[in-house]
Each structure stands twice: as structure tokens, then as C-alpha cells.
Amino acid sequence: MKDMDGIVEVMTALGRAARAAAAELAFATPEAKAAALAAAADAVRARRDEIEAANARDLAEGAAKGLGAAMMDRLMLDAARIEAMAGGLEAVAAQPDPVGEVIAEWQRPSGLKIRRVRTPIGVIGVIYESRPNVTADAGALCLKSGNAVILRGGSESVHSSRAIHACLVAGLRAAGLPETAIQIVPTRDRAAVTQMLRMVEHIDVVVPRGGKSLVGLVQREARVPVFAHLEGICHVYVDRAADPGKALAVVLNAKTRRPGICGAAECLLVHRDIAATLGQEIVDALMAAGVEVRAEGLRGSCPAAPEDFGREFLDMKIAAKVVDSIDDAIAHIRRYGSSHTEAILTEDDTAAARFFERLDSAILMRNASTQFADGGEFGMGAEIGIATGKLHARGPIGAEQLTSFKYLVTGDGTVRG
């Protein structure tokens, strides 16, 4: 399928089917949705051999293409990962259903009773790289929130994703829900992605999940609204009133626990008053842990270059800098941050309040590791991504963030004067 007309036709058909499914899903019962997820988990376990065989095909094709080790690892599914996927489906099933929740309720002098009630958004498009498990996670969260979803996974994981998708469809069927509630794009042609980004009539929001080049492409080309973050350039500021023990533990964790995730710290800012003491101690500890510290005003692994600030290393590397005051730290973060997650380490309530008030990242932390920037850690059960935009969804995107609302107004023959 190489011609664009063909792609448009295929995608429009998916879009129409998704809209129709969304109209039914909007009032599916919480029980039906949970039953579909539970049945999908059962199917994943029952079809483990099929999923592994499909994954073996992807791995063989990947090896033939010469994919790197990290990519091959992300692609690989073994018994443990398949079980984790089934468990994830069950965890989403067990979460509270957001649809129908009364968010607010009030009465007016006119006699009207007004309720603001949570509804699904409609149709979500999810575009992701070659992590086959995203098929299950994204499908589950969209279903939970009553949205139809069109999934477009990386072309390297196409066989695995299709096998997992078949399990989700089996779950929908078992629960009597429309099978087109969760669809997968049937072609590897990249033109399908371009088309998804333009389908404003059929897709309400696109969530890209992957590296900067994928997210950047989606943000540039989408005419559909996008929930995403381009980069996680997370800052940790060690205030002069930091507790040394907490500061050491938190900075080390923020950088080294998993340096490749978007919540990993990429820049350390240290107040001048404690730079030579606690600041240097932290830098030494980072280096001892194998981190390359590119430092300005501190003895690091090497001097920081200007481009090291505002840089997402996603690696055992960090930029470090001495600042004259908390306001300097705030100014630095405003200039170089990506509105994802920043932390202040301090025992001073006034300093913490200032940091919380004057910065506007999606997540601001005090005396806690930036690695907590995660839907699971926030108690959302699962996340489909993290957004740094200001509209609708911000921070971790769980089922609740995939909902909209409507107003239900009750009168008694009430007319406006």
C-alpha cells in the first residue's frame, strides 16, 4: 500500500469505526470495561506462545536490520514481560472508573441544579516507538477512560503489537463492547502517521510516546491537539538551607536510578553559600557513582560548555552550576528548563514556597527525587505519557486525564427572566 490515496482511505475507515465505537463506549458500564480488560489479560496469558512467536519474528527482522542492543532490548518480550503486561491490564481494570464522576455540583438562585460530570474525550491516537507493551498500556488506559483508540506502533514491533492487539480485541468481544474500540493501523507505511496527525474529524487528541525526534515530528506536523513533552530537562536546586543527608540521597537518586527516563535530573544547581562544602560533596558522590559532571564553579569531571545547560543527556552525565541565590536558580530554570519537573532541596519553607510559586513546570518537588515524575508513582495506576503543555492534560497522563466533561442541569420548568 504505497499510494497516499490508499492510506487516506484506510485511515478514514479506521477513523469512522473509531468514532462509532466511541459513541457506544461513552456509556459503557464500568463493569463492562473492567471485564474487557480482565478478559484481555487472560488472553495475553493464554496466548503467550503466539505472542512470543510474533516477537521472535520482530527480533529476527530487527537483527537482520542491525538494530542496536538498546532497541533490541526494548523490542524483546519474554515470559516475565508478558506476565507484567497482563498484570498491567488487571491493574488498570482495578482502578476507579473516571467516566460519570461528578466533579462539581452546585445550586443556583434560579433553582437550577448544576453538575459537572466526567465524560470520555472521544477518539485518541497513540503513536509510539518499538515497545510492544505500549500496545497493551495505551489500549487499556483509553478503554478505561471510555475513549476509542487508534494505535500506531513502531514498524519494528509490528508482529508483536498485532498479537497483543488481538488479545485486547478478544477482551472487548468477551465483554460485548465494540471491537473497533481499540484498533491498530494495519500498515507500516509512515504516511499513515502523517494522515493520523491531520485527521481532526476522526481523532481528538494524539499522544506520541517515544524519543525527541518522534515527539518533535508530531508536534510540528499535527493539526490534531497533542499531549506530550518534547524533553525532560529536569533541574535539581540545592538551596543553602538544604539538609546534607537528604540532598546527597536525592541528587544521586534523581540522576543515577535510571538516567535514561524523562524524569532523570539533567542539571544540578548549587547555592554559592554551600558550594564548596555540600555542593562539592554531592559532585564528588556523583562522580564516584560513575556520573560525568560537567561543572561550572565546582570541581567536576570537566568544565561545563554553554550547550551543556538546557541539554537532555539521558545518560550518566549531568551539568552542574553554582548560583548566587534562589532567584538565580529560578531564572536559570526558566531559561533552560523544559517545564517537565524540577526539585528544590531545602529545609527553608520560604525558599520552597518561592520555588513552588515562581516556577511553572508541570511538576515541582521539594526534598524528593525527580525520578518520581511518573503516573504510577502519582497513584494514577498507569500513564500513557507525561505532558508539559498548559492545556487539558499536564504532568502524568492517566485515565482521568483522558477525559472531558459536560454540564448536567436540572430545573423544574425553570425559565430565564
| Site residues for its own copies per CB under 8 A | 23, 26-27, 106, 108, 110, 112, 114, 119, 121-122, 204-205, 225, 243, 245-247, 249-250, 252-253, 257, 334, 352, 356-358, 360-369, 371-372, 377-379, 390-392, 394-395, 404-416
Residues whose CB falls within 8 Å of the CB of residue 215, separated by 6 or more in sequence, listed in order: 208, 228, 229, 230
Q: For residue 362, give the DSSP letter.
A: S
Cα–Cα distance for residue pair 132/97, rounded to 1 Å: 25
Shortest Å distance, C-beta 96 to its own copies: 13
Q: For residue 64, give the DSSP letter.
A: H
Q: Which is nearer to its own copies, 6 or 111 (CB)?
A: 111
Region for residue 336 given its phi and psi (left: phi exceeds 0; alpha: psi -120 to 50; beta: otherwise) = alpha
Assign 373 to helix, strand or coil.
coil
Shortest Å distance, C-beta 208 to its own copies: 16
Q: Which is nearer to its own copies, 332 or 394 (CB)?
A: 394
From the centroid of its chain, how far is CA 142? 13
Shortest Å distance, C-beta 204 to its own copies: 6
Shortest Å distance, C-beta 31 to its own copies: 15
Shortest Å distance, C-beta 363 to its own copies: 5
* Alpha-carbon torsion (157, 127, 68, 253), positive or negative: negative
Shortest Å distance, C-beta 3 to its own copies: 28
Residues whose CB falls within 8 Å of the CB of residue 43, separated by 6 or more in sequence, listed in order: 166, 167, 168, 170, 171
Shortest Å distance, C-beta 402 to its own copies: 11
Kindly report the CA angle at 263 between 257 and 354, in degrees rounded to 5?
115
306-315 LR contacts (CB < 8 Å, sep 24+): 309/267, 309/336, 310/233, 310/267, 310/335, 310/336, 310/337, 311/233, 311/266, 312/212, 312/231, 312/232, 312/233, 312/266, 312/338, 313/259, 313/266, 314/259, 314/260, 314/261, 314/264, 315/259, 315/260
Distances (CA, A) of 230 to 8, 83, 168, 310: 27, 31, 29, 13
Cα–Cα distance for residue pair 124/224, rounded to 1 Å: 10
Shortest Å distance, C-beta 417 to its own copies: 8
Shortest Å distance, C-beta 388 to its own copies: 11
Distances (CA, A) of 118 to 4, 22, 184, 373: 38, 15, 26, 25
Q: For residue 341, give the DSSP letter.
A: E
Helices 30-46 and 158-174 sit at what angle, rounded to 10 degrees?
130
Give the containing element (helix H, strand E) for 322. strand 317-323
Cell numbers standing for residue 149 = 483508540
Shortest Å distance, C-beta 416 to its own copies: 4
Q: Which is nearer to its own copies, 132 or 146 (CB)?
A: 146
* Contact between 125 and 207 (Cβ < 8 Å): yes
Shortest Å distance, C-beta 111 to its own copies: 8
Q: Which is nearer to its own copies, 76 or 261 (CB)?
A: 261
